[in-house]
A and B are shown apart, each in its own frame.
Chain A
């Protein structure tokens, strides 16, 4: 997306599995930002709050950084209002993104230990009633993987096409709001 839009930005990822250990996100961001602020004029944080429950905001404030708006990535892809509707309609909704669909075996099955302990399925998902895939760039391969993911857990799948506009808009806001960081 950065290349498509020709944004003059380098993207430096942190490990996605940090989401399962949200208490570490703020520290990792802090460390990386500290390193990058010496090298770049501007540093922005490509996380929402993401379960840091405010800890990330503290880092951003202290370092003069901006982050993506919202509570988690689902808000960004689907729009906070739509996500709220989805959860209000069925609280037992498990949300998928393209990333989660593609990496489901690793980020969900393996991380929750369901590969080693399939008997834990109910301990995790007994109260769930459906999966909702926020489809950003659906193609046949992703569609197949999304169906497979839902089938592995044994939940019906709904597909909500969201496109990429949510993330693109959030990034646009982030990049335009991020003037050079204070030195």
Chain B
């Protein structure tokens, strides 16, 4: 239970700590409490939730956290996002870009992808998640439908990584390759592999994905406006 009468600073700190522990009900309750105090949704996101999930990622890297800890932390943040999403939209925060995401055909690993989605959303992207086992023709169809800025593809098995190339070929054939930025990721993927298949970007984890996505978008927009 949250104790009443906390200061905004205390709420931010507690929200950070409870997200780290994956305590979803508590994070949700803190979110409501913060909003009652008229705290800005962006403040909750950027000064508490996102830094907390970044710390979760760092602990995973160091081997202090394994997958379940990562999952429950992600869920705690996602719960708060449910409340904050409509408010962020209301306050007229511009979405910085549209991101279409999917796990490739033949693969049903999606934990990493889902975490990336949460962080992208938190950072202001509109995320359209195509789920798992997305075949090339579905990527093509959904790109035409949603006209995203960036397409993200996730793969975890040595046997499904070649689908990146198949997807890129399908985009090429459909004449869509130049319209979208393509990012690839997943545990087995490396920068070299991403370069070899001809993707525009790669990132090893969720916060790096956000940075890379912003960079790529900025470069592309600069080019278009030039």
Residues of B within 8 A of A111 (CB): 66
Residues of A within 8 A of B69 (CB): 113
Which of B72, B106, B108, B158 contacts A120 (CB under 8 A)? B72
Q: Is the CB of A123 within 8 A of B108?
A: no
Which of A20, A87, A114, A127 contacts B110 (CB under 8 A)? A127
Q: Is the CB of B159 within 8 A of A87?
A: yes
Among residues 6 to 55 in chain A, which have CB atoms less than 8 Å away from a CB atom of chain B?
A: 20-21, 49, 51, 53
Q: Is the CB of B67 within 8 A of A51?
A: no
Q: Smallest distance from the beta carbon of A104 to chain B beta carbons, Å? A: 16
In the complex formed, the residue of B with least CB distance to A120 is B71
Q: Does B68 contact A (CB under 8 A)?
A: yes
Among residues 144 to 191 in chain B, which have CB atoms less than 8 Å away from a CB atom of chain A?
A: 158-159, 187-188, 190
Contact flags A62-78 to B (C-beta < 8 A → 1, else 0): 00000000010000000
Q: Does B101 contact A (CB under 8 A)?
A: no
CA distance A128 to B132 in the complex (A): 11
CA distance A49 to B188 in the complex (A): 12
Residues of B within 8 A of A5 (CB): none
CA distance A124 to B132 in the complex (A): 12
Q: Is the CB of A91 within 8 A of B67?
A: no
CA distance A116 to B75 in the complex (A): 15
Q: Does A159 contact B (CB under 8 A)?
A: no
Contacts A20-B66, A53-B188 known; A123 to B133 CB distance under 8 Å? no
Interface size on A, residues (CB 8 A): 22
Q: Is the CB of B68 within 8 A of A113?
A: yes
Residues of A within 8 A of B108 (CB): 91-92, 127-128
Interface size on B, residues (CB 8 A): 23
CA distance A92 to B157 in the complex (A): 13
Residues of A within 8 A of B187 (CB): 51, 53
In the complex formed, the residue of B with least CB distance to A114 is B68
Which of A71, A88, A116 contacts B68 (CB under 8 A)? A116
CA distance A91 to B110 in the complex (A): 13
Which of A84, A92, A123 contacts B71 (CB under 8 A)? A123
Which of B66, B110, B133 contacts A113 (CB under 8 A)? B66
Q: Is the CB of B111 within 8 A of A123?
A: yes
Q: Does B86 contact A (CB under 8 A)?
A: no
In the complex formed, the residue of A with least CB distance to B67 is A112
Q: Smallest distance from the beta carbon of A107 to chain B beta carbons, Å? A: 13
In the complex formed, the residue of A with least CB distance to B63 is A21
Q: Smallest distance from the beta carbon of B224 to chain A beta carbons, Å? A: 36
CA distance A95 to B111 in the complex (A): 19
Residues of B within 8 A of A20 (CB): 66-67
Q: Smallest distance from the beta carbon of A99 to chain B beta carbons, Å? A: 20
Q: Smallest distance from the beta carbon of A122 to chain B beta carbons, Å? A: 11
Residues of B within 8 A of A116 (CB): 68
Q: Is the CB of B159 within 8 A of A117?
A: no
Q: Is the CB of B159 within 8 A of A84?
A: yes
Can you list 21 contacts pairing A with B, beta carbon distance less than 8 Å?
A49-B158, A53-B158, A53-B187, A53-B190, A87-B106, A88-B106, A91-B106, A92-B133, A111-B66, A113-B66, A113-B68, A113-B69, A113-B71, A114-B68, A120-B68, A120-B71, A124-B111, A127-B108, A127-B131, A127-B132, A128-B108
The list of the 7 closest CB pairs from A to B, nearest first, reads A113-B68, A127-B108, A53-B188, A91-B106, A127-B132, A92-B108, A71-B158
Known A53-B158, A71-B158; further 18 A-B contacts with Cβ < 8 A: A20-B67, A21-B63, A51-B188, A53-B187, A53-B188, A88-B106, A91-B107, A91-B108, A113-B67, A120-B71, A120-B72, A123-B75, A123-B111, A127-B108, A127-B110, A127-B131, A127-B132, A127-B133
